[in-house]
Structure 1
Amino acid sequence: MDKIEIRGLEIFANHGVFPEENVLGQKFVISATLYTDTRKAGLTDELTASIHYGEVSQMITEFTKNHTFKLLEALAENLCQMLLETVPHLQKITLRIEKPWAPVGLPLDTVAVEITRSWHTAYVAFGSNLGDKKKYVDDGIQGLRNTEHCTVEAVSEYLITEPYGGVEQDNFLNGALKLRTLLTPEELLDRLHELEAAANRERIVRWGPRTLDLDILFYDNEIIDTLELHVPHIDIENRDFVLIPMNELAPYYRHPVLNRTISQLLDSLNNR
Structure 2
Amino acid sequence: MDLIHIRDLRVLTVIGALPHEQEQAQPIRVDLDLHVDLTEAGISDELDDTVNYGLVADEIAAMAADNKFVLLERLADEIARNTLRFDRVEAVDVTVTKLRPPVPTALESTAVTLHRRRSDVDIPMLRPHEAIIALGSNLGDREGFLRLAVDSLDRVVAQSQVFETAPVGGPEQGAYLNMVVKIETALDPFALLRRCQRIEANAARQRVVHWGPRTLDLDVLFYDDVTISSPELLVPHPRIFERRFVLTPLEEVAPERCPDGWRDTLPPDEVTPRGQLRR
- TM-score normalized by the length of structure 2: 0.57
Give the equivalent residue in structure 1 for 2:16.
none
Of the three residues 260, 263, 266, the one matched with 1:267 is 263
Give the equivalent residue in structure 1 for 2:109.
none
**Highest Rg: 1 or 2?**
2
* Contact 2:220/2:235 (<8 A) preserved: yes
When the two chains are superposed, the root-mean-square deviation of aligned CA atoms in Å is 3.9
Of the three residues 152, 157, 160, the one matched with 1:153 is 157
Q: Helix, strand or coil for the counterpart of 1:221? A: coil
Matches of 1:182 and 1:233, distance apart in 2: 20
* 78 and 249 in structure 1: CA distance in 2 versus 1, 3 angstrom threshold: closer
Which aligned pairs between 1:11-22 and structure 2 lie closer than 5 A?
19-21=9-11
* 168 and 271 in structure 1: CA distance in 2 versus 1, 3 angstrom threshold: closer
* 264 and 251 in structure 1: CA distance in 2 versus 1, 3 angstrom threshold: same
> Any unmatched runs of 5+ in structure 2?
12-26, 31-59, 65-73, 93-115, 269-279
Residue 150 of structure 2 corresponds to residue 141 of structure 1? yes
Give the equivalent residue in structure 2 for 1:29.
63
Matches of 1:132 and 1:268, distance apart in 2: 33
Matches of 1:15 and 1:140, distance apart in 2: 35
* Contact 2:131/2:185 (<8 A) preserved: yes
How far 1:267 moved relative to its partner?
Answer: 2.8
* 86 and 172 in structure 1: CA distance in 2 versus 1, 3 angstrom threshold: farther
Of the three residues 118, 125, 135, the one matched with 1:126 is 135
Matches of 1:247 and 1:81, distance apart in 2: 38
How far 1:176 moved relative to its partner?
Answer: 0.3
Give the equivalent residue in structure 2 for 1:256.
none
- TM-score normalized by the length of structure 1: 0.58
Of the three residues 76, 95, 102, the one matched with 2:86 is 76
* Contact 1:130/1:209 (<8 A) preserved: yes
Give the equivalent residue in structure 1 for 2:45.
none
* 127 and 217 in structure 1: CA distance in 2 versus 1, 3 angstrom threshold: same
Q: Give identity over the alignment, percent.
A: 33
How far 1:247 moved relative to its partner?
Answer: 0.5
How far 1:20 moved relative to its partner?
Answer: 3.4
* 90 and 239 in structure 1: CA distance in 2 versus 1, 3 angstrom threshold: farther
How far 1:81 moved relative to its partner?
Answer: 9.8
How far 1:28 moved relative to its partner?
Answer: 4.2
* Contact 1:163/1:172 (<8 A) preserved: yes
* Contact 1:165/1:207 (<8 A) preserved: yes
Matches of 1:265 and 1:186, distance apart in 2: 32
Aligned length: 188
Give the equivalent residue in structure 1 for 2:247.
243
Flag as ranges the 4+ runs of structure 1 deviating above 6 A.
57-60, 80-83, 89-92
How far 1:251 moved relative to its partner?
Answer: 0.9
Matches of 2:236 and 2:88, distance apart in 1: 29
Matches of 2:6 and 2:190, distance apart in 1: 29
Residue 244 of structure 2 corresponds to residue 227 of structure 1? no
1:15-63: CA deviation from partner (whole Å, max 9, x where unpaired): 79x8535962475439xxxxxxxxxxxxxxxxxxxxxxxxxx9997362
Matches of 2:254 and 2:148, distance apart in 1: 23
Q: Helix, strand or coil for the counterpart of 1:175? A: strand
